[in-house]
Amino acid sequence: GAVVSQHPSRVICKSGTSVKIECRSLDFQATTMFWYRQFPKKSLMLMATSNEGSKATYEQGVEKDKFLINHASLTLSTLTVTSAHPEDSSFYICSATGDTQYFGPGTRLTVL
Amino acid sequence: AQSVTQLDSHVSVSEGTPVLLRCNYSSSYSPSLFWYVQHPNKGLQLLLKYTSAATLVKGINGFEAEFKKSETSFHLTKPSAHMSDAAEYFCVVSVIVGTDKLIFGTGTRLQVFP
């Protein structure tokens, strides 16, 4: 089946720094990718819809200036957490739409 | 608005016994419904999906789910649990027809004892 990768799988950073997470569709092209956030023992919360070549669409309550999304090609979307704080620590998951929606393995972000 | 409710946060079964993971949905139209499984350190994997065709949907690894409109339910079942089935299971509904935006339930952790 289709594969979606994320890099890095885990990252630890200091408060105030920015962190970039990559999401790639490895064997298919995806005009639409999604970014989710998953808190411990909680469900996935949709953060934004990433559209190739256009601005991302953010869900209510998600700060677009804090979570910058870029979808520069049909196989790559990036999520940049700017000026990260400990409360941004979470598990971030992307998905890409092919014949169905395929999910990446997730990135665990820890902000010290 | 669309939503899903997973009635059990935690289900424990013995290996070889049936599995039942419950899900109720709320939708203003005929929804698309999914079950995903999440194993530790692995990406979410689609088990099965319902998109207004047959109400009994068969998925991978012996799982199946039945769409019951009268009960607004989409419960996931498996006749005989295997140790490898231990994971987190999510019931999911599509937000809008024709889009891929999904709303996830809160998840059910399935434990399988030998």
Q: What is the pLDDT along chain B (114 residues), one digit of tens a residue?
A: 778 999 999 999 999 999 999 999 998 777 889 999 998 877 889 999 998 778 899 999 999 999 999 999 999 999 999 999 999 999 999 866 566 788 899 999 999 999
Number of residues assigned to chain B: 114
Query: What does the block give as tokens for B8?
Result: 């059990």
Considering only CB atoms, B106 lies closest to which of A4, A42, A102, namely: A42
Q: What is the pLDDT of residue B43?
A: 80
Contacts of A41 in chain B (CB under 8 A): 107
C-alpha distances in angstroms, A50 versus A13, B17, B64?
24, 42, 32
Does the distance separating the beta carbons of A93 and B43 come in below 8 Å? yes
Q: What is the pLDDT of residue B30?
A: 77
- Count H helices, E strands: chain A? 0, 11
Instruction: Count interface pairs A-B at CB distance under 8 A.
Output: 42
Contacts of B104 in chain A (CB under 8 A): 36, 43-45
* Probe site for chain A from B100, B106, B108, B109 (most A CB atoms < 10 A): B100
A-chain residue closest to B51, CA distance: A100
What count of other Cβ atoms lies within 10 Å of the Cβ of residue B98? 6
Ranges of residues in chain A with a pLDDT under 70 are 1-2
Q: Indicate the SS3 state at residue B12.
A: strand
Q: What is the pLDDT of residue A51?
A: 86
Q: How far is A106 from chain B (nearest CA, A)?
A: 7
End-to-end CA distance of chain B: 41
Residues B22, B73: Cα–Cα separation, whole Å: 8
Residues A95, B43: Cα–Cα separation, whole Å: 9
Contacts of B44 in chain A (CB under 8 A): 44, 93, 95, 103
